[in-house]
């Protein structure tokens, strides 16, 4: 049996039922897994047998679910990057609409992980001053649920293009869009460098390497942006 939580099996023998599964776990995010085993003696055929099999299956499922829940709580809900994602979600006007009304205290609390790292206290104060107007403008996003992720990204980009009367929130949104949630762009840059500069060019000056990388990388971004706009 292969399910979304791991790999396991259920074996029904003449005298016992055996359930086994390996689910994510091990603590500390260090990989490995937690083995969930249930072995129940099966009575002879009859109502008691069916009840024992049902109880064994329920015990097994609860054990798998508990292990997966613990793993999710430890490695996802307590991950240090989660508050950053919650803060940047405020740049999505549809998120603001779904969580309205937001108070000044809510904004300050959510943006706290970014303070003095991505945003300044002055910018946060200006965001609080514009909060009422921002929430009013977010009402226009009520029908965004029907769109795909790519379409929603285009709508967010268009929203901030049209709402220049919210300079603080526009600046915040632009700063959030600079954050890269993965290392894919860095890995792509190293791949480009490997393609552009062979061992014979290992002594190229830093200015040449930087200019070549920027030209190739930005040209690729421009092509992808044009393809999305079509």
Mean pLDDT, range 87-104, rounded to an integer: 87
Share of the chain above pLDDT 90, in %: 14
Q: pLDDT of 122-166, one tens digit each?
A: 999 999 999 999 999 998 888 777 667 777 788 888 899 888 889
Angstrom distances, CA of residue 98 to CA of 69, 101, 103, 144, 188 = 26, 9, 14, 11, 35
Per-residue exposure over 61-71, b if at least 16 CB sit within 10 Å of its own CB, e if not: eebbeebbeeb
**Residue scoring higher pLDDT (10 or 156):** 156
Q: What is the mean pLDDT of the chain?
A: 74
Q: Edge to edge, what strands does the sheet with 6-12 contain?
A: 2-3, 6-12, 16-24, 33-41
Encoded tokens for 227: 């393809």
Cα dihedral 51, 57, 58, 62, rounded to 10, equals 160
Count the Cβ atoms, other than its own, within 10 Å of residue 53.
Answer: 16
3-state secondary structure of 129: helix
Q: pLDDT of 96-125, one tens digit each?
A: 888 878 899 999 998 888 888 889 999 999
Burial (CB count within 10 angstroms: exposed 0-12, middle 13-18, buried 19+), residue 198: exposed
Mean pLDDT, range 183-206, rounded to an integer: 77
Q: Identify the weakest region by mean pLDDT among 18-22, 136-140, 175-179.
A: 18-22
Question: If we measure between CA atoms, which residue out of 173, 149, 151, 13 comes closest to residue 96?
Answer: 173
Residue boundaries of the structural domains of the chain: 2-77, 82-177, 185-229
Q: What angle do CA 87, 130, 169 make, to 5 degrees?
A: 45
Encoded tokens for 220: 């690729």
**Bridging pattern class, strands 16-24 and 2-3:** unpaired
Q: Which residue has the tokens 């990989």?
A: 31
């Amino acid at each position: 049996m292969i399910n979304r939580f791991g790999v396991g099996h259920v074996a029904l023998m003449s005298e016992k039922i055996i359930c086994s599964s390996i689910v994510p776990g091990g603590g500390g995010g260090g990989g490995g897994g937690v083995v969930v085993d249930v072995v129940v003696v099966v009575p002879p055929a009859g109502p008691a047998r069916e009840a024992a099999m049902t109880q064994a299956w329920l015990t097994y499922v609860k054990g798998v679910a508990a292990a997966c829940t613990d793993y999710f709580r430890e490695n996802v809900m307590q991950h240090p990057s989660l508050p950053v994602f919650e803060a940047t979600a405020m740049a999505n006007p549809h998120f603001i609409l779904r969580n309205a009304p937001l108070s000044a205290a809510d904004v300050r609390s959510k943006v706290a992980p970014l303070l003095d790292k991505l945003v300044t206290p002055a910018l946060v104060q200006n965001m609080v001053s514009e909060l009422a107007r921002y929430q009013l403008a977010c009402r226009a996003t009520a029908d965004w649920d029907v769109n795909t992720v790519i379409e929603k990204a285009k709508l967010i980009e268009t929203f901030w293009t049209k709402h220049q009367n919210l300079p603080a929130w526009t600046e915040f949104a632009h700063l959030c869009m600079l954050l890269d949630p993965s290392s894919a762009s860095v890995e792509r840059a190293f791949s480009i460098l490997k393609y552009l500069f062979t061992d014979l060019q290992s002594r190229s000056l830093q200015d040449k390497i930087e200019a070549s990388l920027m030209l190739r990388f930005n040209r690729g971004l421009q092509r992808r942006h044009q393809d999305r706009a079509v």
